[in-house]
Structure 1
Amino acid sequence: MRHGKILVVEDDPMLRMDATLLFEEAGFDVAEFDSADDALAYVWDCTEEVAAIFTDVEMLGSASGFDLAAIVISAWPHIAVLVTSGFHSDAPDDLPSRARFIPKPWHPAEVLGFVKGNVSHH
């Protein structure tokens, strides 16, 4: 079963692994990144492969998860974006309406429900 690639963008290796396993077990192809900058570079090169992005907010690099969400939704509206954070309890007012925010610790069913509900099956 293939739905398109999910990008997991998280600087904490354990949380990144947890999210990757969650998506892989649900039948998704996953690409992992530890910064929004690296994930954005991948999206530029492989736009058609990417179905959704699950990103943390605070990471090393010049872009935050909020920046990544704004850029991706503006340039590639077909990509679903789910943003999570342990430091922010709410999404900022300027988060695009098509992006969704959930605080950490996130629940696997909520994360999978969002992705499955927003990713078209190819």
Structure 2
Amino acid sequence: MKFNKEALSLQGLRVVVVEDDCLLRSLMSDIILELGAECFAFSNADDALIDLLTQNGGCSLIIADHGVPGSIKGMEFISMAQQKWPEIPAILVSGFDLKAHVYISGSVYLRKPWTVEEFLSAIALALGSSPSQAGVGSS
């Protein structure tokens, strides 16, 4: 599978990823890096929050799995970040069927398991681009 990197460029962006599954965290990071963004990946939201505070919210996008270990879950992390920096878009990822009233309004919900097309579409949607601009296709 290939995707058009020019159709969804993240050049110059800083993306924070919170995912406890090492393989998924690595896959997300690789995709984000290939799209041109800096990626800072964490296995828990506690460490990601410390990073955000250190960077004074210097982040273009947050992608957080809800069911991560630690004292802060992904949904809470997104909520805390958006209270302090409401301009940061977010994607909440979960393998659980979270009801619409449970997750944070304004964030994009991405259900596990996801495909690369769904991941790219969620990024485009969160950043305010048309999901079709993700430029995903088979080779």
TM-score bracket, shorter-length normalisation: 0.7 to 0.9
Larger Rg: 2
Stretches of 4+ moved more than 4 A in 1?
none
- TM-score calculated relative to the size of structure 2: 0.76
C-alpha contact 2:75 2:104 (8 A) present in aligned 1 = no
The match for 2:107 is 99
Per-residue deviation at 1:116? 3.4
Q: Deviations over 1:19-39 (max 9, x none)?
A: 101111111110010101111
**When you count helix as a share of all residues, which structure comes out higher?**
1
Please point out which of 79, 90, 96 is paired with 2:98: 90
SS at match of 1:47: coil
Q: Is the 8 A contact 1:84 1:106 kept in 2?
A: no
Computed over aligned residues only, the root mean square deviation of the Cα atoms, in angstroms, reads 1.9
- Any unmatched runs of 5+ in structure 2? 1-9, 129-139
Q: CA contact under 8 A between 1:51 and 1:79: conserved in structure 2?
A: yes
**Percent sequence identity over matched residues?**
26
| 1:114 equivalenced with 2:122 (yes/no) | yes
- Other structure's SS at 1:8 match: strand
Partner of 1:75: 84
Which of residues 9, 13, 16 in structure 1 aligns to 2:22? 13
Where structure 1 has 5 or more consecutive residues not aligned to the other structure, the ranges are none
Q: Distance in 2 between matches of 1:89 and 1:117?
A: 20
SS at match of 1:49: coil
Map Cα deviations across residues 75-96 of structure 1 (whole Å, 9 max, x no partner): 111111101111x112452422
Whether contact under 8 Å (1:7, 1:50) holds in the other structure is yes
Report what 2:73 is aligned to.
64
> Between Structure 1 and Structure 2, how many residues are aligned?
119
